[in-house]
Amino acid sequence: MKEKLFVVKIGGALIDDENLLNEFLTQFAAIEEKKILVHGGGKLANVLAEKLGVNQQMINGRRITDKETLNIVTMVYAGNINKNIVAQLQQKDCDGIGLSGADANLIQATKRIHPEIDFGFVGDIDKESVNRKVISGLLQMNMIPVFSAITHDKKGNLLNTNADTIASVIAQALSDLYEVELLFCFDKEGVLEDVDHPETLIKKVSEKDFYTLKEEGKLHKGILPKLENALAAVKNNVSKVFLIKETQLKNHIKNNHEGTEICL
């Protein structure tokens, strides 16, 4: 029987709220099974870019990452945010180790090539990009990997990579070794028919449901990459995938199954 592994992804809204982040990390540290944390970036990169006079460009919610922006997001994601999360976990007797995809060649990406848009230093990945042997080795040493959204291309370049995708491909890559549950934790109760009304929570979303909701315009743009990555995980043998509110992690782990379950 495979060991249980939780892959947990948190986003910027949580990172930007010091008290909420502390509460979440307390709940995360209490998970007894093996676990991995993947985090996004929050507002700090934009704040620093503004102070440095580096213009930020977004297309369909995706950051255009030129060289100056890459330097900023690397400092913020893999530096400030990552190490502060690890320090807080250590305070909670949780032996976190802060990582980027470049460390030990853990996640090797390919620079994005788009026919119309130059995204700059942005990396695309799939489950074959992940060095599952090394990650599994860290888990067996009872370390808790904490991944920032920075990868590399094995050509000496760092790349900015979507954190939802990182969480999904790590879960997929480790699904042969562990019984993996992937959790996308964010500021909503799960998938909502009406984003402003928590009572419209949809408890289960299949691939068919996803396309129907998308066509009906009921999915706001922020949740689309989460759902796309969640479906990719389900298709690639990840045992369970949920979208949950970050404050409900403890209840969910206790088998209350909060939020929205993603299924085929």
Please measure the distance between the N-terminal and C-terminal CA atoms of the chain and give it in whole angstroms. 24
Span 22-79, pLDDT tens digits = 999 999 999 999 999 999 998 999 999 999 999 888 876 677 899 999 999 999 999 9
Residue 100: name the closest of 158, 178, 46 by CA.
158
CB 87 within 8 A of CB 80: no
Mean pLDDT of 229-238: 97
pTM: 0.96
pLDDT of 195 reads: 86
Span 153-165, pLDDT tens digits = 999 999 999 999 9
Average pLDDT, the chain: 95
pLDDT of 80 reads: 97
- How do the domains of the chain map onto residue ranges? 3-262
Round to whole Å and give the CA distance between 80 and 161.
17
- The single-letter code of the amino acid at 31 is I
Considering the domain delimited by 3-262, tell me its CATH architecture.
3-Layer(aba) Sandwich (3.40)
pLDDT of 194 reads: 87
- DSSP class of residue 2 equals P
Q: Which two tokens stand for residue 55?
A: 């213009």
